[in-house]
Chains A and B, each alone.
Chain A
Amino acid sequence: DADVTQTPRNRITKTGKRIMLECSQTKGHDRMYWYRQDPGLGLRLIYYSFDVKDINKGEISDGYSVSRQAQAKFSLSLESAIPNQTALYFCATSESGGRSYNEQFFGPGTRLTVL
């Protein structure tokens, strides 16, 4: 089973709709992240959370919100989707200590299309 899972894997929606992307992990990591990937722009950080009570904005947080429901779950919401939010979204995890200190592990991604 995958250590970091994302649901849904693909989603097509319309402008103005509310969308939630979910991420779950079984790695036991305390830190979780949301990125988006656009062709030619690389991956950019949207939000990150270092523990359940910690939420931080990343480089491009406008138009997005997040919720850390538990150590293993981190969801990303688009309150009112717009076409330029069409992208590939990735969730990632890392641990604050241990052997793989600060090494990030990524989920398979969610392809979101906003019409």
Chain B
Amino acid sequence: KQEVTQIPAALSVPEGENLVLNCSFTDSAIYNLQWFRQDPGKGLTSLLLIQSSQREQTSGRLNASLDKSSGRSTLYIAASQPGDSATYLCAVRSGSARQLTFGSGTQLTVLP
């Protein structure tokens, strides 16, 4: 059974810092990996999708990498802003049913 872990569970940084969020998964036979952002009481916003054949994806200040063999992904956020404060969720698509398995998230706070 696929398991997804996100470390740390919470992170607080001053505005302007570059930061890295980590995601690890137990079964490397994945179809893709998706990073989401969730604001309190709100739905999930898709940030980046990395297909299994890709090594990284970039969108603005965000860069996500994927290392299938080691079962790891990182989300790099450059020049963090208070508006980046949210919970970031990692999810992998795997298994015969190709289901998404989510991590528990990293709660990010960017201090002004």
Chain A residues at the B interface, C-beta cutoff of 8 Å: 4, 33, 40-45, 48, 56, 58-59, 90, 92, 100-109, 111
Q: Is the CB of A90 within 8 A of B99?
A: no
Chain B residues at the A interface, C-beta cutoff of 8 Å: 4, 31-32, 34, 36, 41-46, 49, 51, 89, 91, 93, 97-100, 102-105
Q: Is the CB of B43 within 8 A of A102?
A: no
Given contacts A43-B44, A102-B31, A102-B93, 19 further A-B contacts (CB under 8 A): A42-B4, A42-B89, A43-B102, A44-B102, A45-B99, A48-B97, A48-B99, A56-B97, A58-B99, A59-B99, A92-B44, A100-B49, A103-B46, A104-B46, A106-B43, A108-B42, A109-B41, A109-B42, A109-B43
A33, A40, A42, A90: which has the most chain B beta carbons within 10 Å? A42
Taking the closest CB of chain A, its distance from the CB of B49, in whole angstroms, is: 4
Evaluate whether A90 and B44 lie within 8 angstroms (CB atoms) in the complex, with A42-B104, A48-B99, A56-B97 already known: yes
**27 A–B contacts from the bound complex (CB under 8 Å):** A4-B43, A33-B100, A41-B104, A42-B4, A42-B89, A42-B102, A42-B103, A42-B104, A42-B105, A43-B91, A43-B100, A45-B100, A48-B97, A59-B99, A90-B43, A92-B44, A102-B32, A102-B98, A103-B34, A103-B46, A104-B46, A104-B91, A106-B36, A107-B43, A108-B42, A109-B42, A111-B41
Q: What's the dominant secondary structure at chain B's contact region? A: strand
Nearest 8 pairs of A and B residues by beta carbon = A106-B44, A42-B102, A108-B43, A43-B102, A103-B49, A42-B104, A106-B43, A109-B43
Evaluate whether A104 and B99 lie within 8 angstroms (CB atoms) in the complex, with A42-B89, A109-B43 already known: no
Give chain A residues whose Cβ lies under 8 Å from the Cβ of B41: 109, 111
Instruction: State A33–B43 Cα separation when bound (angstroms).
Output: 14
Taking the closest CB of chain B, its distance from the CB of A66, in whole angstroms, is: 15
Which B-chain residue is minimally distant from A91 (CB atoms)?
A: B43
Task: Kindly identify which residue among B32, B46, B89 contacts A43, using a CB–CB cutoff of 8 Å.
Answer: B89
